Structure 1
Amino acid sequence: MHLKDQSDRKVADFPKELPNILEPEIEEDAEESEANLPVPSDLDLVQRYIREANRFSLLTPEEEKALTTLFHETGDRETGSHLVTSNLRLVIKIALEFQKYWMKNLLDLIQEGNIGLMHAIRKFDPYRGIKLSYYASFWIKAYILKFIMDNWKLVKIGTTQSQRKLFYNLKREKEKLRSQGFEPGPKLLAEVLNVREEEVVEMDQRLGAWELSLDAPLKDGSDEYHKNFLPATEPQVEEMLADAELKNLFRRKLGEFRTELNDKELDILDLRLLAEKPMTLQEIGARHHISRERVRQIEDRLIKRLRQYLKNEIADWEDYRTPMGD
């Protein structure tokens, strides 16, 4: 998935940014000076944003089909805005999942997610038989993930090999040790993950900090809670972040590895190992006038070469789940 829009279709009238739903409407004859107004906290702004987003109705399947088709065919500005505002709650859900990995304002993640939402709406094809929310969720997550990873130096997560290892594996190792009957304290975790004890403590504090309480109401006296915005079942965020970095790194190194291969090996890599519907050994053999057994031998050797290449090129490769099935 590329974050840069590859669509050739121009939608000149589609809004480049969302209307600011947090901007208060000020009467022309209002006399109260803006300087006298209290400055809202980040949490106040988040709660206010969520309340305002809830004012926009969700679409029925029939409405979504009609609006996405109209926008796809005409690029109508008002239709595009309607599709965006009716899906703001989806962005909030996803941003809340990633919140503990961003140690600043949740609205930063919501803003990036909104950009991903608008990108998804521009690219969405209503004739492919999938829901807009399902399609958009991938773009929303991609933009939020990219934002977090681009700003790791600012939040000081993942700047060293040890920190990356902890970031990806700390929660998983805690659960694993508990299941084995151990108390996952910093000392034991440091030994298991081969890092310093103080690094475990530091990362544990970071991952546990700056998280809105999911049991806290959106406002005093409200029956709605932050946890109501979370989806019932979603992949672990740690795994998504690990996969995002790994896939980017793997793609780069795979491109370098390809330059070392001959035509037979390239075909086996592309048409067998990386293909969604791999060719059979017989089909590959027929293309190159060699036997099925010879194709199998080349494939086995190629897999070993690729694994070794990745281990040599990526220092902590074995700390990740590899796409080669290791």
Structure 2
Amino acid sequence: MTQKSDDVLDYKEDEIEDEGLLDDEAEPDAAALATEEVGNDEVFAKDDSQKTMDATQIYLGEIGFSPLLSAEEEVYFSRLALKGDQAARKRMIESNLRLVVKIARRYINRGLALLDLIEEGNLGLIRAVEKFDPERGFRFSTYATWWIRQTIERAIMNQTRTIRLPIHVVKELNIYLRAARELSQKLDHEPTPEEIAAALDRPVEDVRKMLKLNEKITSVDTPIAGASEKMLLDIIADEKELGPEAELQEADIRQHLVVWLNELNPKQREVLARRFGMLGYEPSTLEDVGHEIGLTRERVRQIQVEALRRLREIVTHQGLNVETLFQE
């Protein structure tokens, strides 16, 4: 069982650049396939390291018993599969399960477990078996790679994002992310938006917007590591809460507010008191204040401006800030 599992992990598949997702019914063109020949009959040297016999290893061991197909066998079984032969279809699928594993391993740490990636890739493999035309002259593994990658990438997009992105946006985002990965290896540090923009010859602002789409969203109910009962919400600062210094300053201002209001003329004092709910009044609109004291709305506004300017001078002279007290 373990030996077969090692063979599966050593399945060879040439490196293929991530170029975004295909549409559900799209077909890879001949030019693209010609540059992506994938070997289906070679294995690398076996890895003798100990492996944990978990569900993944059990699956890998099971699929290792399916023999690979030669080029001639691929043509033979694919022709039968196109005619509806279920046994041939099954043989095509089982013989290429190791290809799915090889491709799925390249998407580890992208938000889905390896078994989930393999499951999605298997759906792409089945799709490839249904659509493969052996008369086009390409190896099946080359053709299937397109469909396997599509289903895996689509699953990552749909299952790991709170907000789903359109396919064309994902394709564009993949270009930026691929450039970022290449630059990080070349520069030995995480590239800045400016460095990515220079490499792609794109505006820096466009790079920032696209990279922002890749930001992960974390639930505030996420448990904090090492704290069994605490959630992320428990330690997030409330931006609406004032700091200690601001609270002390506001308390000092309110304590002296009546004294400062008495330095205004009676009309200014009454307008501010009625507008902002002081001296026993409820907060009112400019129009309501005008009705209550027999002035037009515009005249009330003018008095308010004059009163605030005078009050600001008084408070500023005391070295304090009155702005937050009179926000509408």
TM-score band, normalised by shorter chain: 0.3 to 0.5
| Greater Cα radius of gyration, structure 1 or 2 | 2
TM-score (norm 1): 0.41
